[in-house]
Structure 1
Amino acid sequence: MTEAESRVAPKPVPAFTAGAAIGVLGGLIGLGGAEFRLPLLIGVFRFAALEAVILNKVMSLVVVAVALPFRMSAVPLEMVGAHWPIALNLLAGSMAGAWIGAGWALRLRPALFYRIIAMLLTVVAAVLLLGHGGGEGTVPAFSGIGQAVAGLVAGIGIGIVASLIGVAGGEFLIPTLILLYGVDVKLAGSLSLAVSLPTMLVGFARYSRDRSVLVLRQNLRFVAIMAAGSVAGAYLGGQMLGLIPAHLLLPVLAAILVISAIKIWRHA
């Protein structure tokens, strides 16, 4: 009997509760929470690695699609639109990276895929600690053609990672936008969502060409319930923003990811 065959169909209440808890965590730090959802999909709900990544990507799409309107009161759409050259620069690389990453994921052996996921979750933990605490824009690291090339390369890398673990990529996009383009953190959060949405659509389009995407049809009710919980939690987390200092929250969340990475590595 395979792992997928032995897995019990998730109950609605645990699915919604888990989604809400993840959404709150993500909302508190301005992310969609997909990096925390993936370990639960594998470790608690017992989906195989590729299944978990595909389901995670679909739920990430839902959360990102509603998160941008949530932020419009703080960051108007006109402000985001005024920075369209930055978004296009990153998108040129991230969409290509998303297609490449999804293709790799479909060809990887399961044991190797688990280990890659574990390593990438550890990288995400490090990025949360080292690159997600800045509050103000900074002087851009490059300008002109150098900035465009750096943005293209960064976008490719972010797209590959986002596709491999089914995340929106905000934990990488936000520091990139701040350091490479010098935008402030609030605008970076909204720009990252604008870049993430088409990037994830490209990755999902690549996954949809493989039979593995059938896991979505088989678990559509679970996806809808957990995604609804994630959206509700993300909104609640956004309202709670500022109640917990970032310098206390980020190490705890990073530790959660490292522990999850260790468990997933052992799962391989």
Structure 2
Amino acid sequence: MIGLGGAEFRLPLLIGLFGFVALQAVILNKAMSLIVVITALPARLAAVPYAELAPHWSIVVNLLGGSLLGAWAGATWATKMRSATLYKTLALLLVLIAIALSVSHFGHLGSLELGPVTRAVAGLIAGFGIGVVAALMGVAGGELLIPTIVLLYAVDIKIAGSLSLAVSLPTMLVAFARYSQDQSFGVLRANGRFVVAMSAGSIVGTVVGGLLLGAVASAVLIPLLVLLLLLSAVKVWRHN
């Protein structure tokens, strides 16, 4: 209903409701986010044809130059953090996502007047930061990518949504590959049925959300979701 995959809301549930420790929750979230993004691609291409996206391929390359490195770095840091530190990091990132969600839906997203070289450097830096956040939280990163693409490259928000998927998928695969080298990756084998069940629920939810699009005004829905993210951040921060 808000144009995001929902992984930022799934993560607190994996920790608080289902009882997975921080790193296990991140890896599970990453796996389910991958499944949801892959299933969303055909529908997105139907809504925004490839012909409309092709002229913007340089944006994807620019952001990937930073996000792939950021994803590897973020996943590496996550596997080396103490659990207590990772919980607090995740809580702070949930607050960041809440802010980004508020700004992207209620703020005015214009575009920055930047020269080609400055824009390319800014894209690399932004891509790196988004890759780190996406890897640490196990999310696709669309809530950060979409406003970044609009701000840096002056692209229509509908096209920005599709370009964000083109950046998210390779970025998520890199983080997933790095997590596969850690022993905590075994949580996927141990909870295979759970992953399939929750992924199926997420996919059904995306369909239902699409059908309900516009049923609830953004002015009501977004503040509720922001409040949920902030409450989740407090709970994750206090988690033992």
Q: TM-score, normalised by structure 1?
A: 0.87
Question: Given the alignment, which residue of 36, 57, 68 partners 1:84?
Answer: 57
Match of 2:219 in 1: 247
Aligned to 2:239: 267
- Following superposition, the deviation at residue 141 of structure 1 comes to 3.7
1:228 has 2:195 as partner: no
Query: 1:127: which partner in 2?
Result: 100
- After TM superposition, list the pairs within 5 Å mapping 1:76-225 onto structure 2: 76-133=49-106, 138-225=110-197
Unaligned 5+ runs, structure 2? none
Relative distance call for 1:222 and 1:179 in structure 2 (3 A) is same
Q: The residue matched to 1:183 in structure 2 has which SS?
A: coil
The alpha carbon displacement at 1:83 in A equals 1.0
Code of the residue aligned with 1:175 in structure 2: it is P
User: Residue 4 of structure 1 corresponds to which residue in structure 2?
Assistant: none
Q: Distance in 2 between matches of 1:230 and 1:101?
A: 25
Does 2:19 correspond to 1:46? yes
CA deviation digits over 1:215-266, x for unaligned, max 9? 0111111001100110110122122222222222111101000001101111
The answer to whether the Cα contact below 8 Å between 1:141 and 1:179 also exists between their aligned partners in 2 is: no
Q: TM-score, normalised by structure 2?
A: 0.96
Q: Closer, same or farther in 2 for the Cα pair 1:235/1:134, shift >3 Å?
A: farther
Instruction: Tell me the amino acid that sits aligned with residue 224 of structure 1.
Output: V
Q: Where does structure 1 lack aligned partners over 5 or more consecutive residues?
A: 1-27
Q: 1:237 to 1:141 in 2, by over 3 A?
A: farther
Moved more, 73-82 or 161-170: 73-82
Residue of structure 1 in register with 2:7 after alignment: 34
Distance 1:188 1:244 in 2: 23
Using the TM superposition, name which of 79-88 and 119-128 deviates more.
79-88
Q: What's the CA shift for 1:143?
A: 3.1
